[in-house]
Amino acid sequence: MPNIVIFGAPGSGKGTQSQRIAERYGLHHISTGEVLRKHISEGTPLGVVANEYIKDGHLIPDELMLQVLEHELDSNPATAAGVIFDGFPRTLVQAQAFEQMLEKRGSKLDMVLGLEVDEDDLVQRMINRGRQTGRADDNIDTIRERLNVYHAQTSPLRDFYIDNGKYVAIDGNPAPDTIFSNISSVIDAC
Ligand code: AMP
């Protein structure tokens, strides 16, 4: 049951690469951002709360996010070979609780694929995505705040995963096909 986290700044291509990884390796894809956007579009109580944070580019509080993740973990289809986590964890508190959650289920995190992309490209990619998809938080003010939040709260996780030997850096600048081929080589080697 390989468990893989795809890590990187907003706009680094986590969603695109996760979908392809899930497809090729038969993994269950959990995107916490997608889960929350679904709740928002369905107007659930969680969606109403989540929207207050997402529209300002802030993170959903850890306690709430951990409940969402537990629920997603328990809905993991038995047929999946493992899970690719996209957009989680995003804080040290989440990363530590995540280890315990997996351990409780007799499982563990195997690998963190870190997509590393130049900052200027991140902004442009998110602006383009906002134009194409109408995603509400892909506007310039929210993008800037999401990047601030990433640097303050999420990027320290890179060192956390380097220190525990799970981090594999992936150059996220080339074309998506090239990135995917590099990721596949890393996964195949394991
Ligand atoms: P994403 O689609 O991964 O870029 O996530 C969109 C938004 O959902 C983020 O900007 C956060 O507001 C929220 N979100 C997604 N995942 C998490 C998480 N693990 N912790 C806190 N907030 C999250």
Is 99:45 a contact under the CB 8 Å cutoff?
no
Mean pLDDT estimate for the chain: 95
**Catalytic residue status for 144:** no
pLDDT of 128 above 80: yes
Grade residue 190 by pLDDT with cuts at 50, 70 and 90.
confident
pLDDT digits (tens, 9 = 90+) for 53-67: 999 999 999 999 999
Please choose from 62, 90, 141 the residue to mutate so as to test ligand 1's pocket, defined by most ligand atoms within 8 A of CB: 90
Rounded to whole angstroms, the Cα distance separating 96 from 17 reads: 25
- What's the rounded mean pLDDT across residues 160-185? 98
The reported pLDDT for the residue numbered 79 is: 65
The reported pLDDT for the residue numbered 75 is: 85
Cα–ligand 1 centroid distance for 189 (angstroms): 30
* Backbone dihedral angles phi then psi of residue 83, each to the nearest 5 degrees: -130, 140
Residue 181, CA distances (Å) to 23, 137, 171, 175 in order: 14, 29, 11, 10
The reported pLDDT for the residue numbered 82 is: 92
Ligand 1 in reach of 87 Cβ (< 6 A): yes
pLDDT of 1 above 70: no
Ligand 1 in reach of 6 Cβ (< 6 A): no
pLDDT of 28 above 80: yes
Is 36:47 a contact under the CB 8 Å cutoff?
yes
- What's the rounded mean pLDDT across residues 15-27? 97
pLDDT of 126 above 80: yes
Ligand 1 in reach of 11 Cβ (< 6 A): no
pLDDT of 90 above 90: yes
**Sequence-ordered alpha helix ranges (H) in the chain:** 14-25, 32-42, 45-54, 62-74, 92-104, 119-133, 140-149, 156-163, 176-189
